[in-house]
Amino acid sequence: MSTADSPTDLMERIVALCKRRGFIFPSSEIYGGFNGFFDYGPLGAELKKNIRDCWWNDMVRRRDDIVGLESSIIMHPKVWEASGHVAGFTDPLVDCKVSKQRYRADQLFFAAVVVDGKTVGYVSALESERTAEELQAAAENFKRKKAIQGKIEPVQPHDMTEAKPEEIPLIPSPATGEPGSLTPPRSFNMMFQTNVGAMTDGSSVAYLRPETAQGMFVDFKNVVDTGRVKLPFGIAQIGKSFRNEITPRNFIFRSREFEQMEMEYFIHEDADWAKCHQEWIAWCQAWLLSIGLPESHLSLYAHPKEKLAFYSKGTVDIMFKYPFGVQELWGIAARGNYDLTQHATASGKPMEHFDEATKKKFVPHVIEPAVGVDRILLAVLCAAYAEEDVKDEKGNVEKRTVLRFSPRLAPIKVAVLPLIKNKPELVDVAEKLYRKLKRKWNVFYDETGNIGKRYRRQDEAGTPWCVTIDFETIEKDGTFTLRERDTMQQKRITEAELFALLEEKVY
């Protein structure tokens, strides 16, 4: 379907389309941009809002067991001490002392160059889909340059967290190509700090939240006391989170300011947590399909037991095949009762639930599906993007770029197009229809350019339908031409049928 040559090309085209059509811009672009921050333009803001609305409707409004919450972004600093973020929300960081570049140690790979069983040097490469091939090529290049004779062995890639102290001075920096400038990995806390109030000393330090989840734990008691909820039940929240990522990358995939949609599902301590975990994994997969992501691009990754935090019972990520590789989209974690217990201990306020049946108090356990809005948006863009050869009205082959968004997510649901703009009878009908549709949906009115060009513009914006008001509309039965984005087929449709179509497809 897509004619892009390579994954890098494809990403570049998607990024270019996002800029050209007003989906996503680099933040503060007139000042050169700001790494890890992005702005959503008119189409992007609509697309993002539609993702949020679909999730909120399906997760909160259409269920009886989940309630919503909007907690503050800056919370008491003790929240982050109790949650473990102050001590442990870190990534391993490696500095290059010469270039001043910073790398995440687990994303910087190295390998020994081994010739005839002897290590003769080291090569390095940043993590990519082709890390091993790049390291192999670099090793062969190293051997050639140094005119070393003998048989080179296949490289064994390791990341910098695995480097032995004596190896670090020998590993070349990716920035300079020379060894000797990389520091040993050290822990870097990813929370953004700020000061609250007039003082800027240690006592006023606060943090921008790195996840929305803690709001749900801290307000657990408030919701239980006011929300008439009964176990099992969930609290859901959508909101911005902030992480000072060492290496923001892959466009909006890993940024420093992003939006999360998280839900904490509280269950009885004796409940079958594994079954509940599986049910939520299935729910999340089905939801991704409902917004149009193809099943072929989704897969599951179960975190190995030995890499889980001590309190965690299991984490499964739903992975998406992005052009730059298969990456985490949605994490579904079984977190036991760790978070509520931590906050109960630190605040001195009990977080227990009373079991009417056994007359016993206990701290509920939690299953947490946590996903990034921006990551979903990027997955949706990548899956929807296509370039095709099509024939114009004269039979000439031309390229069309199309975003095949599901109608649920499409930023513009319908474009209303009067066939010609200098015929008042046509324009009058078109404007009336446009105003009527606009009460319920985001629709677009376009009267400039020939009709073929107007269709193409809507294809690039991902608009599922165009409605053309033509002479048949005003001279015959009042029907319009409905042009379907994906098939490009056209048919006559009445106003009532158009409204019924939208009601059915946009929910």
**Which residues lie near ligand GAP (CB under 6 A)?**
211, 213, 243, 245, 254-255, 258, 260, 262, 328-331, 368, 370-372, 374-375
Question: Nearest distance from residue 213's CB to ligand GAP, in Å?
Answer: 4
Instruction: CB nearer to ligand GAP: give 329 or 482.
Output: 329
CA-CA distance, 498 to 496, in Å (whole number)?
5
In Å, what is the CA distance from 466 to each residue of 262, 422, 487?
A: 35, 20, 12
Instruction: CB nearer to ligand GAP: give 159 or 368.
Output: 368
Instruction: CB nearer to ligand GAP: give 260 or 337.
Output: 260
Question: Nearest distance from residue 254's CB to ligand GAP, in Å?
Answer: 4
Question: Nearest distance from residue 262's CB to ligand GAP, in Å?
Answer: 6
Residues making up the chain, counted from first to last: 507
Q: Closest Cα to residue 300, out of 332, 341, 342?
A: 332
Assess contact for 351 and 344: CB atoms under 8 A. yes
DSSP 305: G
Instruction: CB nearer to ligand GAP: give 375 or 413.
Output: 375
Count of C-beta atoms within a 10 Å radius of residue 444: 21
Residue with nearest beta carbon to ligand GAP: 372
Instruction: CB nearer to ligand GAP: give 328 or 387.
Output: 328
Instruction: CB nearer to ligand GAP: give 311 or 445.
Output: 311
Strands 465-469, 490-493: pairing kind: unpaired
Instruction: CB nearer to ligand GAP: give 176 or 244.
Output: 244
Question: Nearest distance from residue 19's CB to ligand GAP, in Å?
Answer: 19
Question: Nearest distance from residue 40's CB to ligand GAP, in Å?
Answer: 13
Residue 351 dihedral angles phi and psi, to the nearest 5° = -120, 35
For residue 234, give every residue at least 6 positions away whose Cβ sits within 8 Å of its Cβ, in sequence order, or none. Answer: 59, 63, 65, 66, 67, 263, 264, 265, 266
* Six-digit token string for 313: 């019972």
Peptide bond just before 179 cis, omega within 30 deg:
no
Question: Nearest distance from residue 406's CB to ligand GAP, in Å?
Answer: 19
List, edge to edge, every strand of the sheet that includes 158-159. 118-126, 108-115, 158-159
Question: Nearest distance from residue 36's CB to ligand GAP, in Å?
Answer: 8
